[in-house]
Structure 1
């Protein structure tokens, strides 16, 4: 037993399983990484310890004069019912419950992949809808698997009434924010004010939605910063969504020219440039507004609608290039005249 214990301790060390012959064979065949190999080593260490106890303890009891019948009876009683006060549980039931839960968990994940990759992908379902449905199915499947696992373990669910009452008190004091975010996440998945891939503005951040869970939402800003924002932020505060129903949007480009220019000529040139660009939508039609003037400048704003508001950088750059070229051709001064 002591040698088995030493073997289990040795194989559980970090990197020990990788240096073993079995570890090298598995690594070469399945291309395992170091973390997976260490996890396999830890699992083997636990199995060795269990085998040491299962084989060694009966032999010790036999040397002390006990009979096989006594050992078998103790083992059967220990595996089928352990009583602590008024509470009793079964090791076999617990193992059965864990196995049932794991089967339900992996079945839920497989069903999620099949539903998302086979059914909804072929039906051209929107990516946001696919994410919401997949997330809801995943949480529902894990919850059902957990309840079935508890029942298979022989645990009476009615015994959790006292625990639930105590948790309700804790929720009222210390867990209210967590519950608030959880309920807010369920509301977001049901109402879908935004979906994965949408361009949103909330909580002082602006970016694309990457993941929606029941507690928080992951947003990637345009500087590639990942922001994990609690779901209650979207429920309790204003939320801007540039791509809620479609990607059509308006682009505003301010233009400032010198006061010595004729404003009607500037307005006509800007209108011709924005109208002639192929990405500018005809309906709604673009417009150029004369916003005001000072003793040194005339202020205009180009307002144009595009089909995809998320990719307007090249559009605005090209408009500015064309405006500068037309201004030079028409003799329009942007700065102070010579």
Structure 2
């Protein structure tokens, strides 16, 4: 009778640390079982993504700025890169924490449906921000003026708002929806030269020709005013670069003149306007100048058809000037 022989059991050579490696997933699963551990993992990945995005912006900032001509578009692209890196690390952290993406998408969908009405203005501002970046009404560094009178320099353009550094040393944050729907003046988009206008009235007895020459000379002698040179072209029209004084209209109290002059930079419009008006006043106030700046006069004429005017003039005495015969109680003593 033949007996079977069993094959020897193969032996496995132990590897140092093998038990530790095989137990790491178990240790990690036990760690995720602690309250708040999953949220900590997600936050850790988000923080790591923010740190990586900072170095990525430093690395990609110069190439992206050279790629795009407009600074606002380059900054928007860099913001998008930063957000994309943080979101990528965030979703990676969610997966590492063992959270199912489907549940999150369902929760986000329900949450978006609930707060959609609240977020509608923000979404509209973002959409308008895309139109602002595409239409290019202004660029960072341009001097602009909005319909409400806010004037200043564009400091930043985002998808939600435009930040303007005003001439009063304050910041104005204007939503892009307002920027797109409102009237915006750009003083420095292509040509910084700006034309200003001053109205001057002289009397009919004045030498109007002399007044026009003096007004033009006064403006040309002011600093930052373009005193001459080639005509300035706007579209298909050309305008004289030197200050020019025109006869605007004949008014009730005098001849209305209109001075038009160009300034090199639009940064101190009020100061330049005051400087030109002061120079015009000094020129016309000279004793040798046969020019008079009139002011309205009104004359009341009464005749037989005007009726009767009863006029009574009474001298008003100061409070301290009292009759010594009057007693303290107000009576005259009699």
What TM-score range do you get, normalising by the shorter chain? 0.5 to 0.7
Matches within 5 A, 1:148-163: 148-154=89-95, 155-163=99-107
Range moving further from structure 2, 247-256 or 265-274? 265-274
1:331 corresponds, among 290, 295, 305, to 290
Please give the per-residue CA displacement for 1:192-212, whole angstroms capped at 9, x wherever unaligned.
Answer: 322233222225132222333
Report the CA distance between 1:115 and its aligned residue: 5.5
Gap runs ≥5 in structure 2: 1-23, 233-239, 297-334
Asked if residue 303 in structure 1 is aligned to residue 236 in structure 2, the reply is no
Does the Cα contact within 8 Å between 1:104 and 1:142 map onto a contact in 2? no
Q: What is the DSSP-based 3-state SS (H/G/I as helix, E as strand, rest coil) of the residue aligned with 2:266?
A: coil
- Following the alignment from structure 2 to structure 1, what is the Cα–Cα distance between the partners of residues 94 and 80? 21
TM superposition score normalised by structure 2: 0.63
Q: What is the DSSP-based 3-state SS (H/G/I as helix, E as strand, rest coil) of the residue aligned with 2:268?
A: coil
- Following the alignment from structure 1 to structure 2, what is the Cα–Cα distance between the partners of residues 99 and 262? 83
- Following the alignment from structure 2 to structure 1, what is the Cα–Cα distance between the partners of residues 216 and 144? 30
Asked if residue 79 in structure 1 is aligned to residue 36 in structure 2, the reply is no
TM superposition score normalised by structure 1: 0.62
**Highest RCO, 1 vs 2 (Cα 8 Å, sep ≥ 6):** 2
Q: What's the counterpart of residue 52 of structure 1?
A: none
- Following the alignment from structure 2 to structure 1, what is the Cα–Cα distance between the partners of residues 33 and 290? 96
Q: What is the DSSP-based 3-state SS (H/G/I as helix, E as strand, rest coil) of the residue aligned with 2:200?
A: strand
Structure with bigger gyration radius: 2
Q: What's the counterpart of residue 315 of structure 1?
A: 272
- Following the alignment from structure 1 to structure 2, what is the Cα–Cα distance between the partners of residues 272 and 309? 21
Cα 1:179–1:270 change in 2 (3 A) is same
- Following the alignment from structure 1 to structure 2, what is the Cα–Cα distance between the partners of residues 271 and 73? 88
- Following the alignment from structure 2 to structure 1, what is the Cα–Cα distance between the partners of residues 49 and 190? 37
Q: What is the DSSP-based 3-state SS (H/G/I as helix, E as strand, rest coil) of the residue aligned with 2:113?
A: helix
Q: Which has the higher helix share?
A: 1
1:259 corresponds, among 181, 204, 207, to 204
Instruction: State the aligned residue count.
Output: 254
Matches within 5 A, 1:145-294: 145-154=86-95, 155-170=99-114, 172-208=116-152, 209-275=154-220, 277=222, 279-280=225-226, 282=229, 283-284=231-232, 285=240, 286=242, 287-294=244-251
Q: What's the counterpart of residue 67 of structure 1?
A: none
Gap runs ≥5 in structure 1: 1-71, 83-88
Cα 1:157–1:75 change in 2 (3 A) is closer
- Following the alignment from structure 2 to structure 1, what is the Cα–Cα distance between the partners of residues 256 and 57? 55
Q: What is the DSSP-based 3-state SS (H/G/I as helix, E as strand, rest coil) of the residue aligned with 1:175?
A: helix
